[in-house]
Amino acid sequence: MPQTPHYVKGVVNLRGQVIPVIDLRAKFGMETTEVTEQTCIIVVEIAQGTRTFSTGIIVDHVQEVLDIPGTAIEEAPQFGGVVDTNFILGMGKIGDSVKILLDIDRVLGRDTLEFSA
């Protein structure tokens, strides 16, 4: 799409609603990879003030879908100025494993969606 950031890959029509599609690898400054059978678009809702927007995010694959209770979520660890953790919502503890929970509102914040408003 013209006049959009490099990580905006286009739009999709989802049940009559046209939504932007963002490549999360490109958004995070990572090298993009080839689309495979496991590549997915996950539709998320982003809140900005009183408005919400649906956005598709391209991910390499979906390994599992979990329902994590609030009691199993801890704050993100702080690394000082070395690592930016502003986009991490928290750390979900599931058994012996830990899952990093992204704050999708911050990851896909205002700068990402200005073109769609």
Architecture field, domain 8-116: Beta Barrel (2.40)
Q: Is the pLDDT of residue 112 over 70?
A: no
| Ranges of each domain in the chain | 8-116
**Edge-to-edge strand list for the sheet holding 73-74:** 73-74, 88-94, 97-102
Token code pair at residue 10: 């286009």
Classify residue 16 by its DSSP letter: T
The 10s digit of each residue's pLDDT in 56-71 is 999 999 988 999 999 9
Spatial contact of 73 and 90, defined as CB atoms under 8 Å apart: yes
The model's pTM: 0.74
**pLDDT attached to residue 12:** 94
Q: Which residue has better confidence, 83 or 34?
A: 34
Spatial contact of 108 and 22, defined as CB atoms under 8 Å apart: yes
Q: Mean pLDDT across the chain, nearest whole number?
A: 85
